[in-house]
């Protein structure tokens, strides 16, 4: 007798269930996808016991007639795929016709469904794989599916489930990620008969994003199209770097949530220099492309996909994301610096400054002279005064060009008399708070700037650019410093002398583990030669051999961020008004200025309404 037998349907379903139905969240995912495929615009979900006692999903989609209800629980029965040729270009979420029979084989499942035209609906009950009962039943148009006692017949599998809380978190994640692709569909989740755990009303994509992420700050909109026949389109939103620690990056490809390292990597590359290295980006991205260019059928739960032109997609995403990053900087620049439309004419602002009147030599850089603001606020018309509003800064002959902040004199402060306005572009300087924050006014807003973070970012940008074009200028030390290096640093120094020199450090071997430092990169200002060298040597020692496509390798960015941090003005540095103005000017000029290299924000603005609310004026 032959040893090979065909599996019974019952067994085949259970085996398929092993792949498709891993945990309660997989059931929710399959049922939710079916509701979406059925054109529902509202899907309500109830779960009990983390999904093992009950999953109930109610939709108002097309529904099924009695025949279709019966067919839907047959293995490989689907209304979505008719010909083999369609397999290459799947447009629906489901196509395998496996979900309902699989779920039915490991639970007690009830299907209740009615089509639009039918007077009455159909109710079918399946208990652990066998059909128990079918009859007519009254119900609303659409489909209700109830799944009870999930894995009741598979105690071993049930044992593998995590705590109710964890299973519930997986279920929520399924709903959240799917909801991002369908903002116009309302979703809700009720847990253990309590209050709605999720209540997402039908809305637009931006509001859905905010609802899902509970996020109120600025979103970075992503919008790009390849314009090629591959039909590549990317849309969605990223959160600001400071939100990245607590939120997820969700990626949907052709409306299907996927986990894809290539896409994730491209987003990180696109945010390079903005998001701190090693942090993960947060937000939701929807990638659309011609279905022929992906293979969804590589994972039974369709969690992974394969791209046919992965490198094109990778490049496309990097470009779209870096564009959005840059746009955010420009938008922020005009928000913070642009002349407000209500700006008074500059002539009225020509109040002599204390240092101007007293003739105190402030060593003002030439570049402090009034410069026309580089950006205009969108919609800002040329009828408003185009002239710079920074009233003072005379062009002093013979002043040195652009000193770096740390080398600036930090003399005891002589505060500007309150009635005199110190302005830069659209910003009026109020003063320094806690010797750490610059307080400014801009168009009726209070703008608070973290001086350390701001300066750190400026230096980081300059160091990075200098490193990229091999143009880091070094500055000779007045007195060369001899340094005794720790053994591992001494080893690195010997091996990597050229790499160290590329940062603008001039060092001479002095025997054994001693080196004499003669010059340092000009940008690091007053940082001690030892600290600068240690940063570089640590960085070089951490160099990974992994090749990356990044413009600046990760270890270099980390090293430059550390150098910038040490060289930047600190909390506790009292700044002169002109130094604050210089900082503002350099912020405006910096390609990226909104966040420090560690992803912390540099600027926070408080609107007049916000402040008036504090005081119950409104
Ligand atoms: P697939 O989604 O891969 O086609 P399923 O087993 O998930 O396979 O569903 C089988 C069929 O049952 C679907 O093709 C669809 O015709 C029908 N169906 C399932 N759920 C619903 C629903 N909520 N509303 C309408 N039809 C449904
Ligand atoms: Mg399905």
- Reply yes or no on whether the pLDDT at 96 is more than 50: yes
Cα separation of 597 and 450, whole Å?
A: 13
Portion of the chain with pLDDT greater than 70, in percent: 82
pLDDT score recorded for residue 364: 35
DSSP class per residue in 82-136 = -SGGGGGS--SS--SS-HHHHHHHTSEEEEEEE-SS-SSEEEEEEETTEEEEEEE
pLDDT score recorded for residue 86: 64
Q: Is 34 in the pocket of ligand 1 (CB under 6 A)?
A: yes
Which DSSP letter does residue 185 get? S
**Residues 280/244, Cβ–Cβ less than 8 Å:** yes
Kindly report, residue by residue over 278-317, the tens digit of the pLDDT: 788 999 999 999 988 988 877 777 778 899 999 999 999 9
Question: CA 146, 130, 104: angle at the middle one, nearest 5?
Answer: 35
Choose one of 37, 43, 75 to mutate for the ligand 1 pocket test, by most ligand atoms within 8 angstroms of C-beta: 37
Kindly report, residue by residue over 317-343, the tens digit of the pLDDT: 999 999 999 999 999 999 999 887 765
Q: Is 35 in the pocket of ligand 1 (CB under 6 A)?
A: yes
Q: Is 96 in the pocket of ligand 1 (CB under 6 A)?
A: yes
- Give the number of other Cβ atoms within 10 Å of residue 577's Cβ: 22
Average pLDDT estimate for 36-40: 96
pLDDT score recorded for residue 1: 66
- Reply yes or no on whether the pLDDT at 358 is more than 50: no
Cα–Cα nearest to 273, from 241, 311, 316: 241
**Residues 185/212, Cβ–Cβ less than 8 Å:** no
Spatial CB neighbours of 197, under 8 Å, sequence gap ≥ 6: 172, 189, 190, 191
**Residues 295/306, Cβ–Cβ less than 8 Å:** yes
How far is ligand 1, taken at its centre, from the CA of residue 141, in Å?
Answer: 15
Ranges of beta strands (E only) in 473-580 are 474-484, 506-509, 514-521
**Nearest-ligand number for the alpha carbon of 43:** 1
**Residues 15/78, Cβ–Cβ less than 8 Å:** no
Q: In Å, what is the CA distance from 424 to each residue of 427, 428, 447?
A: 5, 6, 13
Q: Is 59 in the pocket of ligand 1 (CB under 6 A)?
A: yes
- Reply yes or no on whether the pLDDT at 42 is more than 70: yes
Q: In Å, what is the CA distance from 331 to each residue of 239, 279, 558, 577, 610?
A: 15, 23, 27, 26, 21
Spatial CB neighbours of 426, under 8 Å, sequence gap ≥ 6: 336, 337, 338, 339, 340, 343, 373, 389, 442, 443
Q: Residue 262 pairs with which residues in a beta bridge?
A: none
**Nearest-ligand number for the alpha carbon of 98:** 1
How far is ligand 2, taken at its centre, from the CA of residue 353, in Å?
Answer: 73
**Nearest-ligand number for the alpha carbon of 99:** 1
The number of the ligand 1 atom at minimal distance from the alpha carbon of 99 is 6
Q: Residue 221 pairs with which residues in a beta bridge?
A: 237
For residue 494, give the H/E element and its range: helix 487-495
Q: Residue 257 pairs with which residues in a beta bridge?
A: 252
Characterize the bridge pairing of strands 108-114 and 54-59. Answer: unpaired
Show contacts of 115-120: CB within 8 Å, 24+ apart. Answer: 115/62, 115/63, 115/64, 115/65, 115/141, 116/62, 116/63, 116/141, 118/63, 118/65
Average pLDDT estimate for 433-461: 96
Q: Is 61 in the pocket of ligand 1 (CB under 6 A)?
A: yes
Kindly report, residue by residue over 7-35, the tens digit of the pLDDT: 777 777 777 767 778 899 999 999 999 99
């Amino acid at each position: 007798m032959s040893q090979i037998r065909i599996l019974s349907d019952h067994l085949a379903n259970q085996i398929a269930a092993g792949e498709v139905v891993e945990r309660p969240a997989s059931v929710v995912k399959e049922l939710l996808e079916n509701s979406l495929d059925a054109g529902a615009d509202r899907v309500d979900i109830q779960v009990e016991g983390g999904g093992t006692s009950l999953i109930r999903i109610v939709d108002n989609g097309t529904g099924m007639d009695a025949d279709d209800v019966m067919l839907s629980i047959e293995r490989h029965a689907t209304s979505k795929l008719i010909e083999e040729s369609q397999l290459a270009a799947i447009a629906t979420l489901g196509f395998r016709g496996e979900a309902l029979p699989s779920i039915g084989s490991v639970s007690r499942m009830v299907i209740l469904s009615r089509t639009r035209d039918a007077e009455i609906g159909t109710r079918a009950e399946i208990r652990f794989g066998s059909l128990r009962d079918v009859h007519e039943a009254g119900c609303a148009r659409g489909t209700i599916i109830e799944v009870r006692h999930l894995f009741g017949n598979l105690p071993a599998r049930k044992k593998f489930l995590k705590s109710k809380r964890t299973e519930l978190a997986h279920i929520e994640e399924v709903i959240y990620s799917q909801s991002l692709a369908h903002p116009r569909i309302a979703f809700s989740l009720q847990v253990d008969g309590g209050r709605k755990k999720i209540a997402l009303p039908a809305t637009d994509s931006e509001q859905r994003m905010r609802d899902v992420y509970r996020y109120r700050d600025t979103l970075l909109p992503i919008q790009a199209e390849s314009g090629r026949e591959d039909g590549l389109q990317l849309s969605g939103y990223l959160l600001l770097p400071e939100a990245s620690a607590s939120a997820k990056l969700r990626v949907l490809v052709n409306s299907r949530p996927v986990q894809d390292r290539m896409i994730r990597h491209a987003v990180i590359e696109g945010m390079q220099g903005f998001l701190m290295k090693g942090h993960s980006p947060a937000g939701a991205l929807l990638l659309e492309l011609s279905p022929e260019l992906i293979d969804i059928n590589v994972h039974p739960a369709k969690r992974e996909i394969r791209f046919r032109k992965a490198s094109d997609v990778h490049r496309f995403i990097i470009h779209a994301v870096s564009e959005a990053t840059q746009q955010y900087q420009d938008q922020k620049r005009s928000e913070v610096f642009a002349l407000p439309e209500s700006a008074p004419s500059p002539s009225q602002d020509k109040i002599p400054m204390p240092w101007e009147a007293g003739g105190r030599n402030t060593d003002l850089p030439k570049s402090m002279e009034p410069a026309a603001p580089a950006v205009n606020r969108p919609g800002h018309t040329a009828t408003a005064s185009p002239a710079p509003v920074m009233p003072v800064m005379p062009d002093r002959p013979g002043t040195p060009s652009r000193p770096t902040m740390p080398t600036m004199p930090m003399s005891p402060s002589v505060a500007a008399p309150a009635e005199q306005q110190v302005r830069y572009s659209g910003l009026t300087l109020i003063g320094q708070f806690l010797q750490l924050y610059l307080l400014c006014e801009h168009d009726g807003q209070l703008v608070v700037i973290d001086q350390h973070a701001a300066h750190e970012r400026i230096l980081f940008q300059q160091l990075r650019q200098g490193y990229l074009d091999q143009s880091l200028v070094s500055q000779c030390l007045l007195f060369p410093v001899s340094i005794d290096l720790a053994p591992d640093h001494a080893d690195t120094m010997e091996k990597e002398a050229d790499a160290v020199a590329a940062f603008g450090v001039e060092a001479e071997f002095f025997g054994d583990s001693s080196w004499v430092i003669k010059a340092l990169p000009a940008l690091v200002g007053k940082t001690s030669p030892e600290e600068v060298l240690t940063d570089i040597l640590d960085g070089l020692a951490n160099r990974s051999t992994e090749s990356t496509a990044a413009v600046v390798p990760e270890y270099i960015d980390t090293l430059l961020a550390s150098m910038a941090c040490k060289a930047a003005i600190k909390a506790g540095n009292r700044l002169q008004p002109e130094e604050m103005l210089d900082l503002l000017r350099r912020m405006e000029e910096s390609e990226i200025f909104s966040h420090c290299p560690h992803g912390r924000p540099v600027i926070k603005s408080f609107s007049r309404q916000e402040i008036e609310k504090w005081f119950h004026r409104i």
